[in-house]
A = this chain, B = another copy of it.
Amino acid sequence: MKCETIIKARYAETDQMGVIHHAVYPVWFEVGRTEYIKVSGLTYGELEKKGIMLPVSELTCRYLNPVKYDDEVILETCITKLSFARICFQYRVLLDGKVMATGTSMHGFVSSETFKPVNLKKVMPEYYQKLTESVESDNND
C-alpha cells in the first residue's frame, strides 16, 4: 500500500533563502503518516486513545530539489518495516513527477501512560495483521 497526500507549501514555511525550510519536511512526513494510518483502518487519534503512541526514534531526510511557496507537492508514504515493537515509514516528496526530497522515520510502539514499549501484536492483533498485509503488498509492488 502506498498513500498519497497532496500538500500545498505555505508562506510561513518559507525561509529567507526563498525556499521551504528544511525543518518543515518532517512535519509534512507526519501528515503523510497520519493519512497512511487512517487509510490502514484506524486514526492516529484512535491509537492514542487506545494508549498507544508512535514517537519518532529516528529520522532521515535528503533534500534533492528546493520546494517553493505555493508549490503543490505529492507526498508518498509507505511502510518499509514492521515488527512487534517498531515501524518504519518511507517518504517521497514529488513535484510534477520530480523527486524533491526523500525521507524515513522509525517509531517504537509505546504506552501513552508509561512511555514504555508495547507489543503491538499482543495489544492490537487484528490491526497488527492488517498492517502486516499492507507492508507485504508494498514489497510485492
Interface residues of A (CB under 8 A from B): 8, 10-12, 14-19, 21-24, 26-27, 30-31, 34, 43-45, 48, 53, 55-63, 66, 69-70, 112, 115
Most buried by B among A16, A24, A53, A63: A16
Copies in the complex: 4
Residues of B within 8 A of A31 (CB): 8, 10-11
A9 to chain B, nearest CB (A): 10
Query: Judging by beta carbons under 8 Å apart, are B60 and A56 in contact?
Result: no
Q: Are the C-beta atoms of A15 and B23 separated by less than 8 Å? A: no
Flag if B11 contacts A22 (CB, 8 Å).
no
Whether A59 contacts B60 by the Cβ 8 Å rule is yes
